[in-house]
Chain A
């Protein structure tokens, strides 16, 4: 067995880190076991992308962030994300590893909704966290990075919506990595109990263009029977951050999990978004867009696994590639034996804006059941000259016409994001990345 990189953090450090946060014993045990596993497990092997030389081990693990007395004191770049319509009533801002701001409306509190940082949740809602933390969705021992994540988890949130509670307004979290060397081992756990519904939106922001660090993020989303979860995200880590992000959902009977992911990191990124349709009649819409620029290498996997009968899965991935960026889009629809009458559809499209960019779309259907429907569409191409001609024939310049076509191409996710300001932010990020 060979270990490619030596970890800078050992057992004593982790023990201390856990104790400092008064974590329950099981959490401490889980961390230490994970640390051992991290030494023995292999790195994940994303299809067609070599990540052996990526930086997953050089980072600073802990840093505090100051509290924010009022939202008006936030930097403008963060303020832009705030939900003006709902006055950011249900908002959590994590600055480095500290909760800088947290607000939850009394109405939701009274209904038993939990929306808090992961460390508070471990203390105040220990049983619930223990029930779900790396149990139903992601396992500690999948590979080295999941084990490292479990060992070094240093931030995140916990969301729980009780039975029969419907959330009308979105919950928003901003993860602000202010310290340029700080690693984010963020854990997001979202649980919707039977017949409940919620909308959750998260933003990752950093500015470390030169300083190198790591984001190793695990997100677990659980929709119990007949629950409905709408999950939106805009990832915007700067060039210096190497990102592994694993967002996984489990949908039980009649449940639905919809994803709208704006994957706009500037550094190397491996992102997997997997949904397990466990219950009969469960469904998922997994939509993701990305823009690759500079020399970044990215690997995106969108996967829906059908276990339940009559489960519906739809994957959409759209990517724009410029400069020398290189990106692989894997779309996987898997129908297990017994998941009869299920439907697995997917669409992956890559728009190339430069000769030097690389983009591959790999549509994969794995089907172990006869009585199902499935389909895929994949394409890699340039801006359609006839579309350009049409727009230009109305007087629109070529540059503006291309801009319209690119924004249109990425609209499936932008239009899905539930908070107007986040939509605008994503549009601006796209604008910045494309031009």
Chain B
């Protein structure tokens, strides 16, 4: 069997007793790139955070399965070791922990004790990934995300993605705050991973990222659900016409889940 399969079934998620996701269904298989699009406040980031196990989000109904295993029963670190990765929109700053030490711990966390990655091999792989993403080598010795610019943080997330090589990656607004050059580099990194063993869920509200990473499937989220799915042409139509036609088609007046109400 090629790659892993992530199945999200009827997922309902609340934050502080307010329901944000109201029954999301999605299946991502190894080899597939999915894009989840939608205006702000429709639940896209909540979907990403809930799958990874963010402490503030509570799953009230539904299931998330990775190759049939119940992800929701797992601790955050177990989810990661099972093959999930979340490229975060707002990665934490960890003072005193170098990017390099963190990466090595992350890689070794997936390996058996006594089978840690040899230091030289690690450095070689990291240097080549840093080069590929056009990141200054000093970053490896800087404290994780501390004092990083928005663009550096995003590149660092992709660096981690390339080094950790998960089965399924979710990238939450990995394009936000990037200029066009950075966007190209980040896309190049993601595209490099494309093969039949790697599945990816790309969350964005701009079509422009999808000019560089062509998705196999595009989903539109509104009101905490996936309301429409289609091929890459769906993203292009959204870029040209916006979201109003979908709202009209589906009779939706307010697409948000009233997060700020």
Contacts and interface: CB of A to CB of B under 8 A. Distances in A.
A124 interface: no
A95 B81 CA distance: 50
A9 interface: no
A393 B94 contact: no
Nearest to A405: B94
Interface size range of chain A in the complex? 20 to 34
B110 interface: yes
Interface string A361-401: 00000000000000000000000111101111111111011
Interface in B54-97: 54-55, 75-77, 79-81, 85-86, 88, 91-92, 94-97
B53 A395 contact: no
A409 B94 CA distance: 9
A404 interface: yes
Contacts of A387: 92, 94
Contacts of B54: 389
Contact of B164 (A386, A392, A394): A394
A393 B52 contact: yes
Given A400-B109, A408-B143, A393 B88 contact: yes
A276 B31 CA distance: 65
Of the listed residues A390, A395, A409, the one surrounded by the most CB atoms of chain B closer than 10 A to its CB is A395
A404 B102 contact: yes
B109 A395 contact: yes
Given A405-B97, A412-B96, A395 B55 contact: no
B105 interface: yes
B101 interface: yes
Of the listed residues A385, A401, A408, A409, the one surrounded by the most CB atoms of chain B closer than 10 A to its CB is A408
A404 B109 contact: no
Interface in A180-210: none
A27 interface: no
Interface string A90-121: 00000000000000000000000000000000
A411 interface: yes
A409 B76 contact: no
Given A390-B92, A393-B86, A385 B55 contact: yes
A393 B80 contact: yes
B160 interface: yes
Contact of A407 (B76, B81, B97): B97
B106 interface: yes
Contacts of A415: 96
Contacts of B94: 387, 390-391, 404-405, 408
Interface in B109-159: 109-110, 143
B92 A397 contact: no
A212 B96 CA distance: 36
A325 interface: no
Of the listed residues A391, A392, A394, the one surrounded by the most CB atoms of chain B closer than 10 A to its CB is A394
A133 B164 CA distance: 58
Contacts of B81: 395
A410 interface: yes
A389 B77 CA distance: 8
Of the listed residues B95, B96, B143, the one surrounded by the most CB atoms of chain A closer than 10 A to its CB is B96
Given A389-B55, A395-B164, A400-B105, A411 B80 contact: no
Nearest to A385: B55
A20 B96 CA distance: 50
A390 B91 contact: yes
Contacts of A386: 55, 92
Contacts of B76: 389, 392-393
B96 A392 contact: no
B96 A395 contact: no
B153 to A, nearest CB: 11
A407 B76 CA distance: 21
Of the listed residues A393, A396, A397, A410, the one surrounded by the most CB atoms of chain B closer than 10 A to its CB is A393
Nearest to B81: A395
B80 A395 contact: yes
A394 B96 contact: no
A405 B109 CA distance: 16
B97 A392 contact: no
Contacts of B110: 395
Interface of B: 52-55, 75-77, 79-81, 85-86, 88, 91-92, 94-97, 101-102, 105-106, 109-110, 143, 160, 164
28 contacts: A384-B92, A386-B55, A387-B94, A389-B52, A389-B55, A389-B76, A389-B92, A391-B102, A392-B77, A392-B80, A393-B52, A393-B53, A393-B79, A393-B80, A394-B102, A394-B160, A395-B77, A395-B106, A400-B105, A404-B94, A404-B97, A404-B102, A405-B94, A407-B96, A407-B97, A408-B143, A409-B95, A411-B96
